[in-house]
Structure 1
Amino acid sequence: MRALLLGLFAPLLLGAAQPRLVTDVSETTIEIAYSFTGAELLLFGAILYPPRHKPRPGTEVVVVVKGPPETVVLREKAKVGGIWINHATARFRDAPTFYSVASSRPVDAFVPFPVAWRHGLGVANLPLHQEGSSDLAERQRFREGFLNLKLDSQLYSEHPDAVSIREDVLYRALIPLPPRVPTGRFTAETFLVRNGQVIAAATRHIVIDKTGLERLVAGAAVRRPFLYGALAVTLSLLLGLAAALLFGRRR
């Protein structure tokens, strides 16, 4: 009977013996003005251990910041009969507009591939919902192309050694936000890893939004696209006419 009870309650006892994360961010709302040149998001927290459990060395922390999802269509051109045409297309559904991972060490140094893939730890391990060709080589080529485009634009990034842990209890991470960071609701997920397994996780939310003139222009483009386009064309024509008159007088 005792062995049976131990077997039934073992998962609960093991769960109670695991540490948990308490995490927070320096700013829950980040406003983007016309002069925005990028920022750094500070995420910090503590590892809370159960009573009578001392902090254990060898614990690693991984922080993943994701932007709102989007659908991206990639087209590959090929030369047919001397003319370049769209040869193949791939559609990536619900891909994060922004993805950044920071860790206490390079992720692949302490997280096995199946665990990293399951939790999306690392750009190479990011699950992407890809629609299009069933050819594996072509799908892989499009996936690599998509990730390279995001990496080149600094919308996807990895920052090994960007998480510092003090006395196996306190941790902090700095996540750089590029000038072209998209707006919307972001999630900051923190994972506690030990012996290659995720033993605890915590999530915080951040809102990035435009402010001032940037917000007014962006809102007008969404709510009244025709009027926004007409004003943009009119303003371009007026500026071109003014430049022509100015340079004409100087001659």
Structure 2
Amino acid sequence: MAAPSTPTTALLSNVSGYTATLVASTYEGAPNVIKSGDPPSEFPQNTSVDTFGSVMYAIENTAMWIVVWTANNQVATKILRAGTPAIWKDIWDTIQRDHTEDSNSTASGWVYNSVVDISSNGDAQILRATLSSAPIPTTIKLENVCGDTLMLVSSTYEGAPGVIKSDAPPVVFEQDTSINAYGSVVYAIGKIATWVVVWTANNQVTTSILPSGTTVIWEEIWQNIQPDHADDSYITSYSWGYNSEVDIKSSGDAQSLNATISSFPLPN
């Protein structure tokens, strides 16, 4: 006698802004392409063939979306950065009843969210999985304790203050990295030097202090990009130097950057 069937109707919704392309599925029936904003893709899965189901979709070249469910009302989901292998044991360790969700930030300046619900009426199940995205906000804090007033030369976005006086409270502003996958500010330190800070949406940073009048060569600055922390110093001909310290950290769906410009006397 054949095993009793517990059919599962899977509804996959994509509102991420990116196209999802099928990589693998436990059964036939999963759509090959789910475009963002299209109506939910509905297909039946006969879990009498297997006691679980799964789909894996590539979100263009940025991430992987995985949804797993069982015949007894349990579900798991995972979003992996592009190039990260799917370790199925780890995914199965997160299986739980009724509801699950996951999120992950990417180098493109976005965070993807997966929300999955599964319910049963006793002899059938319905699974609803939604892929969405949101920009990763970055909170910027700039502190000037160098003894000179800073004047804004350029910024990737609006929001950076035009003037930062020395020893004033740190200035704080938000940068929406959905507009660009990086941010930057350039400040003139009087007529002596130029302070440059650059950061990315995936927790990397670099900084440079250049002599006043020196052209900012962005290719050279980007060569020094690194995760978490960066610093640079510049020795002037006026018996003191400048130092830049920058730290960046991420909570997964938001970043904070702290940058400080200071000065120090040179030994006699």
TM range (shorter): under 0.3
Q: Compare relative contact order (CA 8 Å, sep 6+) and give the higher one, 1 or 2.
A: 1
Looking at secondary structure, tell me which structure has more strand per residue. Answer: 2
TM score, norm. by length of structure 1: 0.23
Higher helix share: 1
